[in-house]
Amino acid sequence: METIKVLVTNRKGGVGKSTIAANLAAYLALQKGLKISLIDYDEQSSSSAWIKKAPNIGIETFRAEMSYQSAGMTLLSARSSLRKFSTGFDVSISDLTWTPNMAENFMHDFDVILVPTSTSKFELASTEIFILEYVLRNTPFIAKNKQAIMAVPSRVETNFAETSISTNLASLKMCYVTPPVLRANDIDNFVYEDFFCVSSNATISNYFCRFGEFVAQQILDKKREREAPASKLGAIYSGLGKGILILDRYRQNKKLLGMQARSQTRALKSSELIDNNSSSIPAFLIKQN
């Protein structure tokens, strides 16, 4: 059994990252009957504390030991914890605040990446840039491994209109915007006592179950791919070679045209980065209408 690995991350706190990690673990265990591990990389250990003090539903929690002596040691210790604490489970969920000390290719160790974000224009733009920079630098890996990357509108109010989210991530293959996670104004009544998916507050429960089901479908699809016979896997990835050739041509054109360096790209508006007519994104990563 190969574990499906989920990373819940963002570059800042206060966006509900640990709340989402703990409650997604509970949803997958309670509603899908999956064997779950939760790996807490954060110093506050908020998500693992929630799981430990809430009613026991069989989720295994682990505190990752991190070394910050150098970027290389940080990556080695992070990967060591992931290998150690994800083995033997259906799904492993990692809760991590992203820092400059962490090498970007640590994201390669995960099948699904969730990036919680508030719904303010500034935070949405920041989240888009965080995801887009990763996509632009890791296009071959994402295409080959069908890694799923999801922005999660978090802590929204009940009067929130989902259509008000203006993001272009959904136009990229393997990038999604999930159903929103509702703000729990009485959060103290949940922490250590209950989980959103089984809350007596029907609104809280319904919102989170929609989100949980969306993510669960991505996870279950990946489990089916992993368990498929080799002949079927050949069909699943039959178009991959063509995509990589397209990427090679894209890189050659980029070099010939003398496009701006990555530091300049970072300064562009997220809407410019994702423009379907721009050469910044290879065509085979753009969803077709």
Confidence (pLDDT) at 277 = 46
Task: Give the number of other Cβ atoms within 10 Å of residue 37's Cβ.
Answer: 23
Instruction: Determine the length of the chain.
Output: 289
Task: Give the number of other Cβ atoms within 10 Å of residue 129's Cβ.
Answer: 18
| Cα end-to-end distance, the chain, whole Å | 36
Report phi then psi at 230, rounded to 5. -60, -35
Task: Give the number of other Cβ atoms within 10 Å of residue 22's Cβ.
Answer: 29
- Its domain, for residue 48, covers 4-118+146-231
Asked if residue 177 belongs to a domain, the reply is yes
Q: Is residue 282 predicted with pLDDT exceeding 80?
A: no
What tens digit of pLDDT does each residue of 199-218 get? 888 999 999 999 999 999 99
Asked if residue 89 belongs to a domain, the reply is yes
149 pLDDT tier (thresholds 50, 70, 90):
very high
Take residue 251 and report the two structure tokens written for it: 């890189």
Asked if residue 92 belongs to a domain, the reply is yes
143 pLDDT tier (thresholds 50, 70, 90):
very high
Confidence (pLDDT) at 189 = 60
Asked if residue 83 belongs to a domain, the reply is yes
- Residue 158 belongs to a domain with what CATH number? 3.40.50.300
- The more confident residue out of 114 and 241 is 114
Asked if residue 84 belongs to a domain, the reply is yes
What tens digit of pLDDT does each residue of 78-118 get? 999 999 999 999 999 999 999 888 999 999 999 999 999 99
**What domain count does the chain have?**
1
Packing angle of the helix pair 17-32, 202-227 (nearest 10 deg): 70
What tens digit of pLDDT does each residue of 16-75 get? 999 999 999 999 999 999 999 999 998 878 898 888 878 889 999 999 988 777 888 999
Asked if residue 137 belongs to a domain, the reply is no
Asked if residue 289 belongs to a domain, the reply is no
Asked if residue 51 belongs to a domain, the reply is yes
Task: Give the number of other Cβ atoms within 10 Å of residue 6's Cβ.
Answer: 29
241 pLDDT tier (thresholds 50, 70, 90):
very low
Mean pLDDT score, 224-253: 51
